[in-house]
Amino acid sequence: MKRGILIVALLALVGVGNFAFGAGMIIVEDSSLWPGPVPPNPLPPSWPGPDGPAPRPHLFAPLEVDYVKVQTRIIDQVAVTSVDQEFFNPNSARLEGTFVFPIPKGAHLDKFAMEIDGKQVEAELLSAEKARRIYEDIVRKLRDPALLEYAGREMFKVRIFPIEPNSRKRITLSYTELLKSDGGLVGYILPLSTEKFSCKPVKSVSVKVELQTKRPLKSIYSPTHSVEIKRDGPNRATAGYEATDVLGEADFALYFAAEKDEVGVNLLTHRTGGEDGYFLLLASPGLESNHQQVLPKDVAFVLDTSGSMAGKKLEQATKALQFCVENLNENDRFELIRFSTEVEPLFGKLVEVSKPNRDRAEEFVRHLKPIGATAIDDALRTALELQPGRVQHPERGDRDPEAVHTAAPARRPFTIIFLTDGRPTIGLTDEDQIVANVKKDDDGRTRIFCFGIGTDVNTHLLDKITEETRGFSQYVLPEEDLEVKVSGFFSKVKDPVLANPELKFSGEVRVANLYPSPLPDFFKGEELVLVGRYSGQGDSAVVLGGTVYGGSRKFAYDVKFPAESTDNDFIPRLWATRRVGYLLDEIRLHGDNAELREEVTELARKYGIVTPYTAYLIVEDERRREVPMPMRSMPGLEEDRSARAEAANSWHQFTADRGGDAGVASALSGLALRSADAPAVATLGAESAFARRYGLVQNSSPPGGPVDALQPGQTRAVQYSQQTQFVAGKTFFQSGGQWLDSATQKTPDAERLRIRFGSPEYFELISQHPETLPWLALGQNVQFIWARKLYEVYE
């Protein structure tokens, strides 16, 4: 039995900017040993586990976290959070411990209550100085710095006894906090990092945040997680998140804003070091738009009925079209077009939404048969002829490429929803010419949304079509349900409220590299999340213009772009993730060049946007520049010939393959990044597209987990790309048993300060520069740049 201190996180609530945060833990003194053999000190990068190499364990975390359930109710700016979490003690010894709950500086917590196995307990409040001594004492005894991220805060504490062997301990707590508002935007954060203090993945994590405001809710946005947002009238909404078998969970953050104007606009900024700043702009019409604010629209549904659509694909497609027709608004107009070898419109024109027309459409869809080839060009041009305001020339034929459009500055939106599972096989089949025809026939106000069904599609063709028409493509994989995807999409876009939007900024501020670009149309209940760079400073007016119910409108909002803003440090990475996605699509669709590749590589390395595709670019770039080996980001991938060859082959396929498994994986990877709301989720999505392309089960190791040499090269390429962490504005790569700051390559001549882990100098660094705590918490061996100096912490 080894004596020591056992710490298991109950809840890690780590804050950013104006958010409230804290961390609850159980500290068990004189504990029994780690389940299995005790790891040595210093801890190695990996440790033998029951199923092969496992990530380096935290000696202080042998308990398992079974579940985490969080329910939060926010009324205006007052949040009441309830946490329910259960631990399992797999040890054979009874444990005695102390529960601690750190409180951040300046947080307004009230009504703190806690129960252990259903019995209410009272907690003692400790000063920040006493709390800091507790954490530092733990680091000294166990020589593991992971808890340093919680240092320097006041804490509640309470004794827990007994923690019985092979039994569960349920702890619940609740507290009230006053959330801060930044320019009308209120932030709430609930980090979910408990899994790093669990010796097994957390089986279940669920978060439910109920919002209620006096004024109608506009923007609701999470920069960290893919949340499901359900609105219940104009003043209420619920944001939910669920996951199972969780490892490496990120902090959960949620922003929301109540109504100030018809379209709610809020601005967040981040700017340091005298460089151009970053901004995030949220704009939402909310859910309270009345009937007269919803624009009547024209929709053409175009469905591929070629022979390859037989079976489940056509069955799901017909159900999806029936759903869309049933959910058209009463003032809309529509047309159905099926195509295979030939094109067959149902009505031959746009018709009003009425019961007879709906019944006729349902009958048409029900009798569709899969047969023939794929005439994509004819189908698209037939649909484009329906554009309102288009002057036809019957004497030249129905599909005259020289047909003109009458001036219709405020006409209703026209949308084409195009579904196909193949490539053009009859008629005009040249990709570039088909795109050119779309561009020629489109009046600039038509939106085409493409659904590629399966993997035998030309992704370049579909993506170029949507690129020209301000739409986007979605790809429905064989294991996915087409009906669910199309129905979900149509539910979001059925109520347009602002078409053809334009955005301008006044004053001495200049903005650049805005994403998404161009701006998409606004829909009821949806929101725009726009990121960009800015130069200059001071007051500015955001002018949002577009078509609103038959007329042109402009909305103006006063905002301020500061010269310095250290809050909201998630914005640069969000901007970089989207920019990498757009640049990768530019390479994929229009050809590779050195300038684009160099920018992708630099952004991916700096902001931790590492997928097997960008990992290959990073390795090749550092080999070309002859970066000294100790400073290289991914030496493991570079030295693993098989994995590097697979990564190189995947990059070649990314730039060359238009369809098939590789082509669809490339399209999905770019889509995940350029449409990112949460950078970590987007990077995982891009990585998942690569893994799915090879039929791989995604690696479940946390960041820095070992690479399994027995796995195929493709799997190892994925695992190498996971050996990175983005912490407090810096990207760290696992390199030679240490965490290496990517910024070291940019400052090769920086003064080097070597500090032994656990030495007096080490704790002096903690005391004098608490800003370094998140980086020091990474491990015993870490290098980072701070204040133009290179700090090397070593064991």
Rounded CA separation 361/676 (Å)? 36
20-79 pLDDT per residue, tens: 233 356 666 544 434 444 444 334 444 344 344 444 444 444 677 888 899 999 999 899
In this model, does residue 179 exceed pLDDT 90? no
Task: Tell me the pLDDT of the chain averaged across its residues.
Answer: 83
More confidently predicted of 583 and 183: 583
Q: Residues 175, 109: contact at Cβ < 8 Å?
A: yes
Q: pLDDT band at residue 249, thresholds of 50, 70 and 90?
A: low
Q: What's residue 199's pLDDT?
A: 67
pLDDT digit string, tens, across residues 346-357:
999 999 999 999
How far apart, in whole angstroms, are the C-alpha atoms of residue 791 and residue 795? 13
Residue 418 confidence (pLDDT)? 97
Length of the chain: 795
The pLDDT tens digits of the residues spanning 227-241 come to: 999 988 889 999 999
pLDDT band at 108 (very low <50, low <70, confident <90, very high): low
Q: Is the pLDDT reported for residue 460 higher than 50?
A: yes
Q: Is the model's pLDDT at 651 over the cut of 60?
A: yes
Q: Which of 186, 184, 214, 217 is nearest to 289 (CA)?
A: 217
pLDDT at 12 over 60: no
Between CA 578 and CA 582 the distance in angstroms is: 6
Mean pLDDT calculated for residue range 570-593: 95
Please give the pLDDT value at position 694. 72
Measured distance CA(278)–CA(283) in Å, rounded: 17
* Residue 405 pLDDT class (50, 70, 90 cuts): very low
Would the pLDDT of 17 be above 70? Answer: no
Query: Is the pLDDT score of 619 beyond 60?
Result: yes
Full DSSP string of 769-790:
-GGGHHHHTT-SSEEEEETTEE
What does the pLDDT look like over 496-532, one tens digit per residue?
Answer: 888 888 999 998 899 999 999 989 988 887 788 999 9
Least confident of 88-97, 286-295, 755-764: 286-295
- pLDDT higher for 74 or 130? 74
Beta bridge partners of 27: 7, 98
**Predicted pLDDT at 240:** 94
For position 286, what pLDDT does the model report?
60
Output the pLDDT for position 61: 46
Reduced to 3 states (helix: H, G, I; strand: E, B; else coil), residue 648 is helix
Dist CA 310 CA 305 (whole Å) = 8
Transcribe 84-116 into DSSP letters.
EEEEEE-SSS-EEEEEEEEE-TT--EEEEEEEE
pLDDT of res. 404 = 39
Is 292's pLDDT higher than 80? no
pLDDT for residue 341 is more than 80: yes
Identity at 354, one-letter amino acid code: S
Lowest mean pLDDT among 7-21, 413-427, 603-617: 7-21
pLDDT at 191: 58
Task: Provide the pLDDT confidence category of residue 11 given band limits of 50, 70 and 90.
Answer: very low
The pLDDT of residue 15: 30
Question: What residues form DSSP beta bridges with 334?
Answer: 299, 351
What pLDDT does residue 248 have? 60
The mean pLDDT of 205-229, rounded to a whole number, is: 90
**pLDDT above 70 coverage of the chain, percent:** 83
- Which residue type is seen at 364? F
